[in-house]
């Protein structure tokens, strides 16, 4: 393959995973990340099924992920008096191995930093494709030409916006917001079984506990505009004001949690993941907030994209088309799932139905279907092509 100089936007999961493989196949890799450094902490993410495990094993990071895993967190849904009404197993939410997103990013960065160039605190400003490559302008650094550019910059991807069009064309708001609030960012404190407690009212869910004693909230709402993080915290507090159980205490503790994140529950729907010399990977291409498959899809997607580029005799166009076809089939695992509607239904009847469902055989079947679906891909053995 002739195209050797590549730029990846985003250094969370999809970006460094792609960097890992492209570097091994002999590409010259630069990763640009908007944040001033690797972002630590964050939510717990998980891997499910033998395909995802195989990719992690081929990367040689499965055991390291296990060592840093958080363990499983069972969620107990309680009424205002703290009495258990339903329970969701941590094996469903945490898959086979669960780890804090920041810990996973650090592992991937650790495996790539020596050979790939990481530029923190910068971002792509403009992209212009020519016959021989892509001219890239940055917010801070000097302009450069690359053979290929990859958007691994999440649900609100800038590469997607610059190349494919406005976010509103591709990102569907699912009628809910979520927020997480935690301790100062740091690493997970080891695998163990935990219990988180959740309390709901129609269209509202407050969860306390779990890895790093995080708080999690979900609330039903149409599109909202926030001036800044203070406005987000204020809206959250207003929405949950008057709710019973331990919610007043949680809200009172909110200012003590510096690791705060609020966003819409959203799903990315792209007619194509590729355009010319640019390809999207991970959440930027097929994200579905809290759908439960984002991290696994990002890592599998990076593996397939890099592998197809390594084998493609017909150049990047052939490789991109193969990647698109393979991943479009795989990301169906997320289906039409809407975590907000599932966990924070908008009516009292919906809440009772949720509690019933969680204790039923149907839930076990859904859990099994989800686990089986993550293996629904024919994984090629690309690593045989490694040049290093
Ligand atoms: C609360 C929550 C819970 C979740 N739980 C799970 C779970 O249980 N299981 C699971 O599999 N997944 C879960 N996910 C999803 C998972 O975090 C993502 O699917 C996964 O991180 C995808 O990685 P990514 O690298 O594609 O995108 P992201 O992790 O979103 O990373 C994008 C990166 O790009 C950077 N960036 C953004 N804009 C720019 C720019 N303009 N220039 C340069 N860099 C930029 C960002 O700073 C970030 O580092 C959860 C997500 C959230 C928010």
Domains within the chain, CATH numbers bracketed: 5-385 (3.50.50.60)
Q: Confirm whether pTM is higher than 0.85.
A: yes
CA of 283 to the centre of ligand 1 (A): 6
- Mean pLDDT within 207-227: 88
Per-residue model confidence (pLDDT) at position 238: 96
According to the model, what pLDDT value does residue 203 have?
97
CA of 24 to the centre of ligand 1 (A): 24
pLDDT 10s digits, 49-89 = 999 999 999 999 999 999 988 888 899 999 999 999 999 98
Q: How far apart are CA 106 and CA 11, in angstroms?
A: 10
The confidence score (pLDDT) of residue 2 equals 53
339 lines ligand 1 (CB under 6 A): no
C-alpha R_g of the chain: 21
Max mean pLDDT range (254-263, 332-341, 345-354): 345-354
Best mutation site among 154, 264, 299 for ligand 1 pocket (most ligand atoms within 8 Å of CB): 154
Order of strands across the sheet that contains 134-138: 124-129, 134-138, 144-146
Q: Is 151 left (phi over 0), alpha (psi -120 to 50) or beta?
A: beta
Angle formed by the axes of helices 348-358 and 361-373, to 10°?
70
CA 59 – ligand 1 centroid, Å: 20
Could you read off the pLDDT of 270-329 as tens digits, one per residue?
999 999 999 999 999 999 998 888 999 999 999 999 999 999 877 999 999 999 999 999
Q: Which of 103, 262, 294 to mutate to test the pocket of ligand 1 (most atoms within 8 A of CB)?
A: 294
Which residue's alpha carbon is nearest to atom 6 within ligand 1? 45
Q: How far away, in angstroms, is 12 Cα from ligand 1 center? A: 6
pLDDT at 188: 58
Ligand 1, residue 284: give the atom nearest the CA.
26
> What 3-state DSSP class applies to 97?
strand
Question: Of the ranges 111-115, 166-170, 336-340, which one carries the lowest mean pLDDT score?
Answer: 336-340
* Residue 65 CB less than 6 A away from ligand 1: no
In the reported structure, the alpha carbon of residue 255 is separated from the centroid of ligand 1 by a whole-number distance in angstroms of 24
């Amino acid at each position: 393959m002739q195209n050797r100089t590549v730029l990846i936007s985003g250094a969370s999961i999809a970006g460094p995973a792609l960097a890992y493989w492209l570097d091994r196949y002999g590409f010259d890799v630069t990763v640009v990340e908007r944040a001033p450094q690797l972002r630590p902490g964050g939510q717990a993410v998980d891997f499910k099924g033998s395909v995802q495990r195989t990719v992690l094993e081929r990367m040689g990071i499965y055991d390291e992920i296990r060592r840093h895993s958080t363990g499983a967190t069972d969620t107990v849904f309680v009424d205002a008096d703290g009495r258990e009404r339903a329970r969701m197993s941590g094996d469903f939410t945490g898959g086979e191995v669960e780890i804090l997103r920041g810990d996973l990013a650090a592992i991937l960065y650790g495996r790539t930093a020596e050979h790939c160039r990481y530029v923190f605190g910068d971002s792509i400003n403009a992209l212009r494709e020519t016959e021989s490559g892509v001219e890239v302008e940055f917010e801070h650094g000097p302009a450069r030409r690359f053979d290929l550019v990859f958007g691994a910059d999440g649900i609100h991807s800038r590469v997607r916006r610059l190349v494919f069009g406005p976010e509103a064309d591709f990102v569907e708001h699912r009628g809910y917001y979520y927020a997480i609030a935690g301790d100062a960012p740091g690493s997970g404190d080891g695998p163990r079984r935990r219990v988180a407690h959740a309390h709901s009212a129609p269209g509202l869910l407050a969860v306390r506990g779990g890895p790093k004693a995080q708080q999690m909230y979900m609330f039903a709402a149409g599109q909202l505009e926030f001036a800044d993080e203070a406005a987000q915290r204020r809206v959250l507090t207003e929405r949950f004001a008057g709710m019973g159980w331990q919610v007043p205490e949680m809200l009172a503790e909110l200012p003590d949690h510096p690791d705060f994140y609020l966003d819409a529950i959203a799903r990315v729907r792209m007619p194509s993941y590729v355009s010319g010399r640019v390809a999207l990977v991970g959440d930027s291409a097929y994200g579905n907030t809290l759908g439960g498959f984002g991290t696994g899809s990002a890592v599998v997607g990076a593996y397939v994209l890099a592998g197809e580029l390594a084998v493609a005799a017909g150049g990047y166009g052939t490789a991109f088309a193969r990647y698109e076809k393979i991943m479009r089939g795989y990301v169906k695992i997320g289906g039409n799932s809407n975590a907000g509607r599932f966990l924070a239904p908008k009516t009292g009847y919906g809440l009772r139905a949720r509690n019933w469902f969680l204790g039923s055989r149907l839930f076990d079947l859904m859990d099994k279907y989800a686990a089986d679906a993550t293996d629904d891909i024919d994984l090629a053995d690309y690593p045989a092509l490694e040049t290093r």
